[in-house]
Amino acid sequence: MAALRAAKQALRREIKGRVSAVSDQEKLRQSRVVSQKLFRHPKYLSSQRVAVFLNMHDEVHTDDILQDIFKRGKVCFIPRYFTKSSRMDMLRLKDMEEVKTLPLMSWDIRQPADEDSDREEALTSGGLDLILMPGLGFDKKGNRLGRGKGFYDTYLERCMTHPKGKPYTIALAFKEQLCAEVPVGEHDILIDEVLYEDEE
């Protein structure tokens, strides 16, 4: 267990270093490429209820994706992280305007406030068809290296108890976040697919 934790920490440091060396302009360019790949993806096109993260500085930018979700009339959910635990809820977002009104929380990202109890949570209603996932590192087998809090793994376990079952999961990544192999433990849940700019 300690060896796995140490291996993950070392890889997190390495990937953070690689991503921080990428210019803002290049991050934006890759984000647009990844977004366009997503917009052609059959799972995205057929999904009606979609969860997407509001990105941190070192993650694929999701503004275009949010706009596309609303443009296509899909139902959009975004994370609310409870920073003192590994709990996360996926709460409904009505439109792009709402994003600007959300409070700025930990990690410099916007999310619904803890006391915001009026929003629909995905698992208390119709579940989710698709989760677009962030992360620090990924390998091509679908192993994901998160930031160590376990938010998404815990949430996916909750999804499995919903009548709809586990949603399809697509991670959005910069090329620099791809690894030969991500060290994983028994609680790490495989993701279905990683989208990044490859050499097509």
Ligand-binding annotation for 172, yes or no, is no
- Alpha-carbon Rg for the chain in angstroms: 16
Contact 138, 173 (CB under 8 A): yes
State CA 107 to chain mean position distance.
14
The answer to whether 10 is a known ligand-binding residue is: yes
148 is in an annotated binding site: yes
What is the distance between the alpha carbons of residues 35 and 27, in angstroms, rounded to a whole number?
12
Is 142 marked as a binding-site residue?
Answer: no
* Residue 13 marked as a ligand binder: no
CA distance 56 to 84: 19
Q: Is 11 annotated as a binding residue?
A: yes
Question: Looking at residue 59, what DSSP letter applies?
Answer: S
152 annotated ligand binder? yes
Q: Which of 96, 86, 78 is nearest to 157 (CA)?
A: 86
Q: Is 147 annotated for ligand binding?
A: yes
Answer yes or no: is 151 a known binding residue: yes
The reply, when asked if residue 9 is annotated as ligand binding, is yes
18 annotated to bind ligand? no
8 has binding-site annotation: yes
121 annotated to bind ligand: no
d(CA 67, CA 64): 5
Residues of each annotated binding site: 8-12, 54, 59, 144-152
Q: Which segments are annotated as binding site for ATP?
A: 8-12, 144-152
Binding site membership for substrate: which residues?
A: 54, 59
